[in-house]
């Protein structure tokens, strides 16, 4: 049997099991497809043969339309770091209707910005926005205005939101993510490989770079985070060339540490952007940075310098701001009580348990764990960024779909395991046991690498 034939047979078996357990989601998707483009409100919410539809969430668990419960390791795209329906956030949101949902220059915005300023080292000034995409877009505009330069450097394999200028180079190549992204849109974005300082130096040498944009978690390509020395060297190289360093902390912010990547690695960027865990599930983002750079967005500035426009109708919706205040207070309490260390330990427990489950079935599997995040690589090695970027993802995508049939929600196609502060050892052990049942039930061996030193027997 060829590997492609084995893949087709395995896919049919896994999908059949999924179809049998999720008829209500199938019916909902059929209905939604008649009104929503693709039956979903975003590309990543879809997977074949159709996505799940949920009716409720509580702590580390969610319930679908068929009443089946799942340990949630998707967390709505990593937003729900406090967990579903965190009591502090629910109480904060419940208090907002008495004031109205959208007020002009709501005082809560100042309360939130003061918390960001106290927790995030670079945050001398803050501007609130609606999303991570808007935050990245605004930070790049501020950097270009401040430096008077047009070019932004990003690293291969990183994702920075839905701006056309960012939707390419999401793997090891220059490919664009879908149609509609023009040559002009990407002409001022320069790609370099992470971990190659000489390439960064060449990209900076032209003298036209406004900023180096970096996700310090290196999440999208597999959690290949650098070291404090790596990030300090990138910052120093950018500054020597007259450019700024921007940390995209949409993933790392408040997740790796209460102060984000900046406090985890002790490297302070010029600007940083936040979303996802920042609002604990509500729609909100932020740009934070050095006062002189953020001054370009000050419409009342009295000192000479460029002005960069940034605004938005819903930038400070009260329920989102209230939720973010409660979330940041919650993260500070978790920091004080050792919650971040506990989450890192749970992530390691999950990654080790999953890799051992594959090894017990003769399949090579390695993992990266960073803070409360885990990524798997179905390979015996080498465990390097270049090697793992080149892996065929189809077997792993089927594994994630099969996990759904055993009561574990991840996102087929993304290979993310996100943990929340609501997860406990019992949930982690549930996932490891579910992985074992998946590997007992479905034969992945024909389409995966054997474990190191082993071989597949058919």
pLDDT in tens, 380-420: 988 998 888 889 999 999 999 999 999 999 999 889 999 99
pLDDT for the residue 271: 98
In sequence order, what are the residues at sequence separation of 6 or more whose Cβ sits closer than 8 angstroms to the Cβ of residue 251? 78, 215, 217, 219, 276, 373
pLDDT at 116 over 60: yes
pLDDT at 456 over 70: no
pLDDT for the residue 458: 45
Asked if the domains 3-85+338-447 and 87-337 are classified in one and the same CATH topology, the answer is no
Count Cα neighbours of 34 within 13 Å in the Cβ-side half-sphere. Answer: 4
Report the alpha-carbon distance of residue 377 to residue 245 in Å, rounded. Answer: 30
Report helix, strand or coil for 245. Answer: strand
What CATH topology corresponds to 3-85+338-447? Answer: 3.90.1150
Contact 451, 363 (CB under 8 A): yes
pLDDT at 48 over 50: yes
Residues 101-111 have pLDDT tens digits of 878 888 899 99
pLDDT at 454 over 70: no
Percent residues over pLDDT 90 in the chain: 88
Q: How confident is the model at residue 97 (pLDDT cuts 50, 70, 90)?
A: confident
Percent residues over pLDDT 70 in the chain: 98
Say which CATH architecture domain 87-337 belongs to.
3-Layer(aba) Sandwich (3.40)
Region 145-158 average pLDDT: 97
Domain layout of the chain by residue ranges:
3-85+338-447, 87-337
pLDDT at 442 over 50: yes
In sequence order, what are the residues at sequence separation of 6 or more whose Cβ sits closer than 8 angstroms to the Cβ of residue 8? none
| pLDDT, mean over the chain | 95
pTM as predicted:
0.95
């Amino acid at each position: 049997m060829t590997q492609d034939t084995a893949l087709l047979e395995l896919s049919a078996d896994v999908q059949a099991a999924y179809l049998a357990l999720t008829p209500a989601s199938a019916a909902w998707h059929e209905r939604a497809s008649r009104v929503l483009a693709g039956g979903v409100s975003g590309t990543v919410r879809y997977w074949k043969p159709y996505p799940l539809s949920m009716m409720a969430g509580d702590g580390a668990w969610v319930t679908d339309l068929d009443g089946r419960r799942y340990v949630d390791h998707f967390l709505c795209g990593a937003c729900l770091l406090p967990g579903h329906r965190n009591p502090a956030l629910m109480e904060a949101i419940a208090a907002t209707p008495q004031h109205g949902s959208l007020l002009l220059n709501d005082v809560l915005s100042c309360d939130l910005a003061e918390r960001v300023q106290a927790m995030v080292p670079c945050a001398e000034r803050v501007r609130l926005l609606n999303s991570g995409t808007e935050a990245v877009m605004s930070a790049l505009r501020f950097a270009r205005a401040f430096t008077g330069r047009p070019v932004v450097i990003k690293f291969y394999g990183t994702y920075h939101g839905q701006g056309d200028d960012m939707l390419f180079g999401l793997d090891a190549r220059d490919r664009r993510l879908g149609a509609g992204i023009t040559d002009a849109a990407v002409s001022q974005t320069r790609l370099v490989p992470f971990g190659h300082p000489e390439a960064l130096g060449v990209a900076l040498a032209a003298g036209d770079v406004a900023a180096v944009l970096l996700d310090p978690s290196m999440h999208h390509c597999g959690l290949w985070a650098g070291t404090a020395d790596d990030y300090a060297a990138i910052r120093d190289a950018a500054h020597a060339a007259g450019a700024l360093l921007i940390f995209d902390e949409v993933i790392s912010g408040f997740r790796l540490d209460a102060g984000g990547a900046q406090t985890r690695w002790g490297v302070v960027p010029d600007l940083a952007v936040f979303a996802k865990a920042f609002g604990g599930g509500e729609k909100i983002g932020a740009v934070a940075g050095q006062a002189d750079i953020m001054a370009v967005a000050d419409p009342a500035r009295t000192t000479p310098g460029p002005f960069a426009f940034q605004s938005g109708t819903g930038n400070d919706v009260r329920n989102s701001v209230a939720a973010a205040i409660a979330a940041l207070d919650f993260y500070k309490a978790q920091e004080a009580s050792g919650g971040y260390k506990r989450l890192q330990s749970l992530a390691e427990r999950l990654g080790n348990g999953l890799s051992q489950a594959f090894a017990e079935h003769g399949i090579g599997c390695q993992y990266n764990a960073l803070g409360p995040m885990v990524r798997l690589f179905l390979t015996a090695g080498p465990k390097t960024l270049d090697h793992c970027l080149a892996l065929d993802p189809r077997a792993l995508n089927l594994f994630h779909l099969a996990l759904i049939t055993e009561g574990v929600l991840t996102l087929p196609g993304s290979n993310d395991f996100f943990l929340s502060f609501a997860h406990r050892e019992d949930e982690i052990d549930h996932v490891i046991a579910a992985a074992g049942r998946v590997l007992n039930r479905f034969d992945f061996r024909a389409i995966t690498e054997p474990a190191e030193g082993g071989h597949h027997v058919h």
